Amino acid sequence: MGAELGVNVDHVATVRQARGVTYPDPVRAAAAAEDAGADQITVHIRMDRRHIQEQDLIDLSHSVRTRLNVEMAATDEMMAIALRLRPHQVTLVPEREGEVTTEGGLDLRDTPTRDSVASAVAALQEAGIRAAIFADPDPDQVEAVAASGAQVIELNTAAYAEAESEEAVLRELGRVESAAASAANAGLYVAAGHGLHYQNVEPLTRCGLIREFNIGHSLVAQAIFDGLSTAVRNMKVLIS
Ligand code: PXP
């Protein structure tokens, strides 16, 4: 069986927010992505609300037919939103004010981060929400994610996606593969994402250990030329 595709529709909301109007609607985009074969809809609610708004989460929590995966920082404000809306999954990510996009995985070697993540994971699970942690493909981070009690690790593929030389690409691919193998051995469900597109996703599917890919920017970019349904369908073919 091939890997599953989580379609991140944040940038549909980015376009809407650029004009301060009601369209394009990420809820409509989510439905179109699901019709085209998405297995999950992913959105990131940021502290500055630059794209996805709380109302989008409320609407998506009613409309998504597959699974709703909400990325967020493990802050009190975000946890309150998660516990109120109860999406299928919450992916805990780091967030730095002013960053253009998520800059790395959560660093669980840092004790305060590890403690706040562990209590967020426990609260999510208590509420019946699957807990995922976005982490760099590093043996220490994988071990810490397994120890946190989360069910899912999402491996950060940014370094792989940004690698330029063939040697660097192979090195970063190897890091993701070996982190995926350790995570799977530790009983974690393995997902991956960040910076993936039509030209770089296929090598990551070969190890057969990554069960889900979360992809946003490249799909919304391709949708400008091909339409969202075709963009999602073509990515689904590549990953499965
Ligand atoms: N996974 C996580 C944890 C992310 O923060 C993001 C970006 O919001 C993605 C996946 C998707 O990355 P991209 O938009 O580069 O496909």
69 lines ligand 1 (CB under 6 A): no
Atom of ligand 1 lying closest to residue 158 CA: 15
% of the chain beyond a pLDDT of 90: 92
pLDDT surpassing 90 at residue 234? yes
Q: Write the pLDDT tens digit of every residue in 36-83.
A: 999 999 999 999 898 999 999 999 999 999 999 999 999 999 999 999
Among protein residues, the one whose CA lies closest to atom 1 of ligand 1: 193
User: In the prediction, which pLDDT does 227 show?
Assistant: 98
Mean pLDDT of 11-38: 97
User: Residue 115 belongs to what domain range?
Assistant: 4-239
* CA 10 / ligand 1 centre spacing (Å): 9
User: In the prediction, which pLDDT does 230 show?
Assistant: 98
pLDDT tier at 138, thresholds 50, 70, 90: very high
Among protein residues, the one whose CA lies closest to atom 7 of ligand 1: 194
User: In the prediction, which pLDDT does 100 show?
Assistant: 82
pLDDT surpassing 80 at residue 1? no
Which of 47, 95, 100, 101, when mutated, tests ligand 1's pocket best, judged by the most ligand atoms within 8 Å of its CB?
101
Q: Write the pLDDT tens digit of every residue in 207-231.
A: 999 999 999 999 999 999 999 999 9
Determine which one of 44, 51, 95, 177 is catalytic: 44
Bridge partners (DSSP) of residue 215 are 7
Mean pLDDT of 2-16: 97
Which of 43, 44, 198, 200, when mutated, tests ligand 1's pocket best, judged by the most ligand atoms within 8 Å of its CB?
44
pLDDT tier at 140, thresholds 50, 70, 90: very high
State the average pLDDT for the chain: 96
User: In the prediction, which pLDDT does 95 show?
Assistant: 84
* CA 42 / ligand 1 centre spacing (Å): 9
| CATH number of the domain residue 183 falls in | 3.20.20.70
Q: Write the pLDDT tens digit of every residue in 91-119.
A: 999 988 887 877 789 999 989 999 999 99
Tokens for 32, please give them.
Answer: 């179109």
197 lines ligand 1 (CB under 6 A): no
User: In the prediction, which pLDDT does 103 show?
Assistant: 79
Per the structure, the count of domains in the chain is: 1
